[in-house]
Amino acid sequence: MSARAGRIGNVTGAVLVGGASSRMGCDKAHLPIGGAPSAVRVARLLDGLFAEVLLVGGDPPAESPGRRVPDGPGPSAALRGLVAALEASSAPWLFVAATDLPLLTPDLVLAIVAWPEADAVVPRTQSGPHPLCALYRVATVLPVARRRLAQGALALRGLLDEVTTAWLEPHDVAVIDRDGLALFNVNTPGELAEVERRIAAG
């Protein structure tokens, strides 16, 4: 554990701020959700858990806690942001969260971090795996991610196939996230309205 207010010191938290938002029609990082920009909500959650927080790519809101890290060279893809985060991490482990997970909970993050060790620890639900809410071992994953980025092999599922991956299966996630909302992505105005309704309802 870190001396900084008891936060976890051997895991860096990273919010991937960049990325296209064509379906939403605006920058999701700055999208107000429950009274705060989406990126701020996620960054504050991670800042309460980890000694180091990174804000990777894009243009994070000024009030977001964390260290700004620009995307590196390469095609616009989540893999590019993951590589930048892995390179910037000062800890041996990296927890990555997308900026469009406004209902992410500390319980789910801590469960992923505490799961039996593997190169990657990833939850998956009926909709599939969630590699942008996952834990990565920097020393093992970074060289594979760099190589795949250089080759233009951008799919995160392919990256997970090349490293040892431990899964939180749907039934595991359901035990931790009883409401089934922690991995809810906000990609469209309709999904935004649903999240705002959930927040208003408590």
Q: Where are the domains of the chain?
A: 8-200
| Strands 32-33 and 36-37, bridge-based pairing | antiparallel
Q: What is the pLDDT of residue 4?
A: 67
Q: pLDDT tens digit string along 71-89?
A: 988 888 999 999 999 999 9
User: Could you give the CA distance from residue 31 to residue 47 in angstroms, rounded to a whole number?
Assistant: 19
pLDDT surpassing 80 at residue 67 = yes
Looking at domain 8-200, its CATH class is alpha beta
**Whole-prediction pTM value?**
0.91
Higher pLDDT, 5 or 95: 95
Q: What is the pLDDT of residue 16?
A: 96
Strand partners, 56: 16, 69
| Residues near 134 by beta carbon (within 8 Å), at least 6 away in sequence | 95, 96, 112, 120, 121, 122, 123
